[in-house]
Amino acid sequence: MSVSAVGFDLDYTLAVPTRDRETILSEAASATGAPPLSREAYLREHQENLTRETREPIFESLLDNHDSPVDPEHVATAYRERITDAVVPAEGVEPMLVGLRTTYRVGLLTNGPVVAQEAKLDKLGWRDYFDAALVTGALPAGKPDERAFDALLDALGTTAEETVYVGDSVHHDIAGAHDAGLRPVQVLGEGCDDPDPRAIAHIQRESLPTELPELLADL
């Protein structure tokens, strides 16, 4: 079956941070008087809070582990502001998205709390780049749960067999899309996982704007 739609992950696929996220987390904690917080602990809590409105529950749990009296909302806000300020488009992806929409339905499915991920979209100015843009904070489940990918298919009005999904994370994007019946394409590069055989193709992030349209046309 030919491809009629393509969905994308956001972070480290279409957008990248200009500064290391561990440093940003350390700065947010310091600015709010919170104790040092590890990136590994943050990521564990993030995975447990993919269907939230904000990051406040993530930092509430982290601060409880340190018996800290600091308001988790303040830390969540400080972290969100710094992350949003640091996010920029991966080179060449904006004209790629515009071009793809002339042929395909184009969607976004990104893990994370609603306020945090929508702040990134607003900063990037990408609201009009997608036929459907879904944040798992507003869904019953996050990636790699099949329900997240089903929500994307419903929003795009396409079937799994005719939809390609592009992402960098083996666990969230490649395995999740594969198990949901979509055709996964893995983005490689700094901050990304090693190539996974479940992907139908592997593309370096800097080559995505040229190689992905060619790949889609050949499917």
Q: How confident is the model at residue 162 (pLDDT cuts 50, 70, 90)?
A: very high
E-strand ranges in 95-212 read 105-110, 132-135, 163-167, 183-188, 201-204
> What's 109's DSSP letter?
E
Residue-level pLDDT at 185 = 98
In the chain, % of residues over pLDDT 90: 98
Determine the 3-state secondary structure of 183 from DSSP. strand
The per-residue pLDDT for range 69-86, each reduced to its tens digit, is 999 999 999 999 999 999
Q: How confident is the model at residue 192 (pLDDT cuts 50, 70, 90)?
A: confident
Average pLDDT over all residues of the chain: 96
Residue-level pLDDT at 187 = 98
The per-residue pLDDT for range 89-144, each reduced to its tens digit, is 999 999 999 999 999 999 999 999 999 999 999 999 999 999 999 999 999 999 99
What's the whole-model pTM score?
Answer: 0.95
**Nearest CA-CA partner of 117 in 27, 42, 176, 55:** 55
- 63-73 burial: b if 16+ Cβ within 10 Å, else e: beeeebeebbe
pLDDT of 14 over the 90 cut: yes
The per-residue pLDDT for range 36-63, each reduced to its tens digit, is 999 999 999 999 999 999 999 999 999 9
**Nearest CA-CA partner of 68 in 36, 42, 27, 21:** 36
Would you tell me how many other CB atoms lie within 10 Å of the CB of residue 36?
A: 9
Average of pLDDT values for 202-211? 97
DSSP-assigned letters across all residues of 23-87: HHHHHHHHHHTPPP--HHHHHHHHHTTTT-SSSHHHHHHHHHHTT--S-HHHHHHHHHHHHHHHE
Q: How confident is the model at residue 1 (pLDDT cuts 50, 70, 90)?
A: confident
Residue-level pLDDT at 28 = 96
Residue-level pLDDT at 190 = 81
Residue-level pLDDT at 130 = 98
DSSP-assigned letters across all residues of 184-205: EEEEESTT-PPP-TTSSEEEEG
Triad 80, 41, 137: Cα angle to 5°: 45
Residue-level pLDDT at 197 = 97
Cα distances (Å, whole numbers) of residue 203 to 45, 84, 108, 181: 29, 26, 18, 20
**Nearest CA-CA partner of 133 in 41, 10, 38, 5:** 10
What are the residues whose beta carbons fall under 8 Å from the beta carbon of 184, sequence distance 6 or more?
164, 165, 166, 167, 173, 174, 177, 178, 198, 199, 200
pLDDT of 191 over the 80 cut: no
Q: How far apart are CA 26 and CA 5, in angstroms?
A: 39
